[in-house]
Structure 1
């Protein structure tokens, strides 16, 4: 049980990669605080875990009061936070800059980068007190290249990688490891519309067809990487960005 008795907060845990992470962590002994902006999906996640330990929290990761409440309640219940997975994210449906409204920009930035910053800031103080902790950020291949999203999404994911590296630089010497997972095309509820005839994106189809894997990824394949980074086997890994993308970034 690689994460036996560890306390993990996982955002975006109501579906997709977040739910897969919750299941993987729970199966390896962790107590999961599953966080999502929607009530029913995150309650369903905890029901699926069926471990008698894990709990659900409803929160908007872009709202400081929600984030602080989740972390405070976790500390009250369990006394510490060992692992934080900043996984919640939203797409901008490949909207180009000249069509990106203020509302869309603020929403993408709020969830994709402000959320990881707020949650990381909230857990850092208790982690520093124990000189131990792990933060895993879900970045993207769009942290490296254009074309995986629109202007807002690509900008936000570049920022996630920058945040990851700075946190690793600042806090690694204090016992806190910070790393990023950079998924490629993963089949989740967030990307499901891209698999329908009316939602298909020629650029995505062509990119996936050109990868060595030649297929969409599965949420469980991201969860496997998260489990590795959360565990003691990854103790010497700081500030790294792991592309789990079927080879999308190779060309």
Structure 2
């Protein structure tokens, strides 16, 4: 899909690593001018590696002032904004059920994972509409589709992203701005690095992703390819959808039941 974003301007959050980095690079390769946004300083290296006038900005994707500033910086630097990919997210606490996580963990996870995309819609949609329309994309997760793919606080935040996209699609009617969510499965990113590193150390890397029908984990570049489609004009009739890219995991979300997993076991 070379050149499909020619003349477009895109902001990508969480762009310092993983899916965000892969997507920023892919959008640029397809012709977009890119603002790479992340709270990690490594985002500077990503922008430098992209070249072609890409710029980096450090900030918090869950902070309203920072999201608004990223949009305005893109407009100031490139003269317009057509695409905003709200990809930044955190897992919060990597493990634990409802009964052993704190309200603070829930609040911070929701702030970044759900309030961040809300702020994107609030601030990016009017600006994108003002330049003739475009696309907003949010990273949700297969964990947001149903139970069995992540801790409760993370799963709830991603379910919220999916509903936000559906609700926003209705409220964006007539604006020329499309919005969709992408739902990655098991992808090797910073969130999953510990699991991948443990598997490598144990010589069991081939067991990663064995619960999905493709029998493997995914790569950030595989998500970036779908992201490119969803923000391009090739997806001009795709709106308000949550697209799973998960090797088939969400066809069942298989889990292993163990003694002690029953109701009230954590009390």
Deviation at 1:173, TM superposition (A): 2.3
* Partner in structure 2 of residue 245 of structure 1: 246
The TM-score with structure 1 as length reference comes to 0.92
Contact 2:34/2:55, CA 8 A, preserved across alignment: yes
Cα separation, 1, equivalents of 2:196 and 2:77: 41
Aligned equivalents of 2:148, 2:200: Cα separation in 1: 16
User: Closer, same or farther in 2 for the Cα pair 1:206/1:166, shift >3 Å?
Assistant: farther
Correspondence for 1:108: 109
Structure with greater helix percent: 1
Number of aligned positions between the proteins:
245
Residue equivalent to 1:130: 131
Structure 1 distance, partners of 2:126, 2:234, is 24
**Counterpart-to-counterpart distance in 2, 1:207 and 1:162:** 29
Map of 1:63 onto structure 2 = 63
Q: Secondary structure at the match of 2:146?
A: coil
Counterpart of 1:21 in structure 2 is 23
- Residue 163 of structure 1 aligns to a residue whose secondary structure is helix
Deviation at 1:199, TM superposition (A): 11
Is residue 135–residue 177 contact of structure 2 (8 Å, CA) maintained in 1? Answer: yes
* 1:85 alignment counterpart: 85
Q: Report the CA distance between 1:101 and its aligned residue.
A: 1.4
Q: What's the counterpart of residue 234 of structure 1? A: 235
The answer to whether the Cα contact below 8 Å between 1:8 and 1:32 also exists between their aligned partners in 2 is yes
Question: Which residue of structure 2 aligns with residue 43 of structure 1?
Answer: 44
Instruction: Give, in whole Å, the separation in 1 of the partners of 2:197 and 2:125.
Output: 41
Q: Distance in 1 between matches of 2:137 and 2:106?
A: 24
Q: Separation in 1 of the partners of 2:5 and 2:77?
A: 18
- The answer to whether the Cα contact below 8 Å between 1:5 and 1:30 also exists between their aligned partners in 2 is yes
* Higher radius of gyration, 1 or 2: 2
Q: Partner residue of 2:261?
A: none
Q: Secondary structure at the match of 2:119?
A: helix
**Does the Cα contact within 8 Å between 1:184 and 1:243 map onto a contact in 2?**
yes
Aligned: 1:32 with 2:41 = no
Kindly tell me: are residues 183 and 198 of structure 1, through their superposed partners in 2, closer, same or farther at Cα, counting changes over 3 Å? closer
Unaligned ranges ≥5, structure 1: none
SS at the partner of 2:249? coil
Q: Distance in 2 between matches of 1:184 and 1:198?
A: 17
Counterpart residue number, 1:118: 119
- 1:248 deviates by 0.1
Unaligned runs of 5+ in 2: 253-267
Of 9-18 and 119-128, more deviation after overlay is shown by 119-128
TM-score under structure 2 length normalisation? 0.87
What is the distance in 2 between the residues matched to 1:249 and 1:207? Answer: 16
Contact residue 217 and residue 246 of structure 1 kept, 8 A: yes
For residues 206 and 4 of structure 1, the distance between their equivalents in structure 2, rounded to whole angstroms, comes to 40
What is the CA distance between 1:104 and its match in structure 2?
A: 1.1
The answer as to whether partners of 2:114 and 2:161 remain within 8 angstroms in 1 is yes
CA distance in 2: counterparts of 1:206 and 1:157, whole angstroms: 26
Residues 96 and 207 (structure 1 numbering): CA distance in 2 closer, same or farther, change over 3 Å? farther
Task: Give runs of ≥4 in structure 1 deviating > 4 Å.
Answer: none
Alignment of 1:205-216 (within 5 A): 208-216=209-217
